[in-house]
């Protein structure tokens, strides 16, 4: 199929995507839309991007969901940026437990992709903070990755950093695939939440810790500000936000207090 994406149509599609989910595709990344959407056009028997744009603008919910699946970058793996997870489990969780005795602590992995991040937290909590009552929430905008997260079956790339004892204890494997233990799988609640959709984010309140790692990099400053301000409101006063190790909230917000723990920056809500 040889369909040409005209510059005007590219910009309209780009702006549509940006308005819906915050992902900003600049002019040098036109190829990204072409590469990722050509299959969607084929599946819909469409012969031009103009037809596809009209279909999207008509407000078809299923197609919007399919667009999110196609356009998002879902790279993730277990024990990613572990320094941050160690700070969470070893330094923050004990303090949070003390602050709210008898109550479950609420941890939200926002933009969890295929689930490696929340399951990493679940395993480390179970091993290092035994008996902690925790509500683990994990969300993403893409139904395809959420479906995969709910199944909890992984390939060797994804599990490569998992320490052997954890791999043995929490996974069943046939040598090719690794299936997470059903109890661990059931301990995480997976939800579809678009981080720039006020209504969706507002359903999550009084969260103790939000991890929003390696997703704001796809947004421009304006959408970063929107998402971070919504996350601020979802946290309880004194709650904590993690962004990716290589990311910064410089130019985005001053509402959080940056706290450095073991060389890791954690953003605390006032
Ligand atoms: C690169 S992955 C990061 C996964 C994980 N947090 C990590 O650090 O390994 C980025 C995820 O953000 C999700 N995402 C992109 N835009 C989003 C939005 N507006 N709302 C929610 N999730 C979004 C993508 O679907 C993708 O799964």
Which residue range(s) make up the domain with 23?
Answer: 7-71
Is the same domain home to 113 and 186?
yes
Which atom of ligand 1 approaches the CA of 142 most closely?
Answer: 25
The total number of structural domains in the chain stands at 2
Most ligand 1 atoms within 8 A of CB, residue of 113, 116, 195, 204 to mutate = 113
Q: How far is ligand 1, taken at its centre, from the CA of residue 26, in Å?
A: 18
Stretch 127-149: mean pLDDT: 97
The b-or-e profile of 159-187 (16+ CB within 10 A means b, else e) is beebeeebbeebbeeeeeebebbeebbeb
Is the same domain home to 107 and 231?
yes
CA atoms within 13 A on the CB side of 255: 18
Q: Which residue has the higher pLDDT, 61 or 135?
A: 135
Q: Tell me what pLDDT residue 60 has.
A: 85
Is the same domain home to 117 and 166?
yes
Task: Determine if ligand 1 sits within 6 Å of the CB of residue 141.
Answer: yes
- Whether the pLDDT of residue 162 is over 90: the answer is yes
- What band does 1 get if pLDDT is binned at 50, 70 and 90? low
Q: How far is ligand 1, taken at its centre, from the CA of residue 210, in Å?
A: 13
Which atom of ligand 1 approaches the CA of 77 most closely?
Answer: 9
Is the same domain home to 59 and 142?
no
| pLDDT (tens digit per residue) in 80-95 | 999 999 999 999 999 9
What is the spatial distance between Cα 102 and Cα 215, in angstroms, rounded to a whole number?
33
Task: Determine if ligand 1 sits within 6 Å of the CB of residue 17.
Answer: no
- Whether the pLDDT of residue 2 is over 90: the answer is no
Please indicate, yes or no, if residue 2 is contained in any of the structural domains: no
| pLDDT (tens digit per residue) in 70-128 | 999 999 999 999 999 999 999 999 999 999 999 999 999 999 999 999 999 999 999 99
| pLDDT (tens digit per residue) in 11-25 | 999 999 999 999 999
With a pLDDT cut of 90, the percent of the chain lying above it is 98
Task: Determine if ligand 1 sits within 6 Å of the CB of residue 22.
Answer: yes
For 181, phi then psi, to 5°, come to: -55, 135
Is the same domain home to 58 and 185?
no
CATH code for the domain of 20: 1.10.155.10
Stretch 249-258: mean pLDDT: 96
| pLDDT (tens digit per residue) in 167-194 | 999 999 998 999 999 999 999 999 999 9
Task: Determine if ligand 1 sits within 6 Å of the CB of residue 214.
Answer: yes
Is the same domain home to 169 and 134?
yes
Q: Tell me what pLDDT residue 140 has.
A: 98
Please indicate, yes or no, if residue 86 is contained in any of the structural domains: yes
Is the same domain home to 41 and 141?
no
Q: How far is ligand 1, taken at its centre, from the CA of residue 192, in Å?
A: 11
| pLDDT (tens digit per residue) in 199-239 | 999 999 999 999 999 999 999 999 999 999 999 999 999 99
Is the same domain home to 56 and 185?
no
Question: What does pLDDT average to over the chain?
Answer: 97
Q: Are β-strands 235-243 and 207-212 bridged in parallel, bridged antiparallel, or unpaired?
A: parallel
Angle ∠(123,235,190) on CA atoms, nearest 5? 45
Please indicate, yes or no, if residue 1 is contained in any of the structural domains: no
- Whether the pLDDT of residue 61 is over 90: the answer is no
pTM: 0.97
Most ligand 1 atoms within 8 A of CB, residue of 65, 214, 215 to mutate = 215
Classify residue 41 by its DSSP letter.
Answer: H
Which atom of ligand 1 approaches the CA of 114 most closely?
Answer: 27
Stretch 232-254: mean pLDDT: 97
Which atom of ligand 1 approaches the CA of 116 most closely?
Answer: 9
Please indicate, yes or no, if residue 107 is contained in any of the structural domains: yes
Is the same domain home to 237 and 105?
yes
């Amino acid at each position: 199929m040889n369909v040409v994406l005209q510059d005007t149509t590219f910009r309209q599609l780009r702006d549509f995507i940006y308005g819906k989910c915050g992902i900003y595709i600049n002019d040098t990344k036109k190829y990204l839309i072409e590469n990722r959407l050509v299959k969607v056009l084929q599946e819909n028997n469409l012969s031009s991007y103009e037809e596809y744009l009209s279909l999207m603008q008509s407000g078809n919910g299923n197609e919007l969901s399919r667009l999110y699946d196609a356009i998002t970058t879902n790279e993730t793996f277990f024990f990613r940026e572990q320094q941050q997870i160690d700070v969470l489990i070893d330094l923050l969780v004990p303090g949070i437990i003390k602050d709210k005795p008898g109550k479950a602590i609420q941890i939200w992995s926002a933009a969890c992709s295929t689930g490696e991040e929340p399951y990493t937290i679940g395993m480390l909590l179970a091993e290092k903070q035994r008996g902690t009552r925790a509500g683990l929430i994990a969300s993403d905008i893409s139904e395809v990755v959420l479906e995969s997260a709910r199944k909890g079956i992984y390939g060797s790339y994804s599990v490569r950093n998992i320490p052997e004892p954890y791999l043995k204890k929490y996974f069943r494997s046939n040598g090719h695939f690794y299936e997470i233990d059903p109890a661990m799988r059931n301990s995480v609640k997976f939800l579809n939440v678009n981080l720039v959709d006020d209504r969706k984010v507002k359903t999550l309140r009084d969260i103790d810790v939000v991890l929003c790692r390696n997703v704001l990099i796809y947004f421009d400053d304006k959408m970063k500000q929107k998402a971070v301000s919504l996350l601020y409101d979802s946290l309880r006063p004194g709650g904590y936000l993690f962004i990716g190790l290589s990311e910064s909230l410089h130019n985005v917000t001053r509402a959080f207090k940056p706290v450095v723990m073991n060389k890791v920056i954690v953003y605390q809500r006032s």
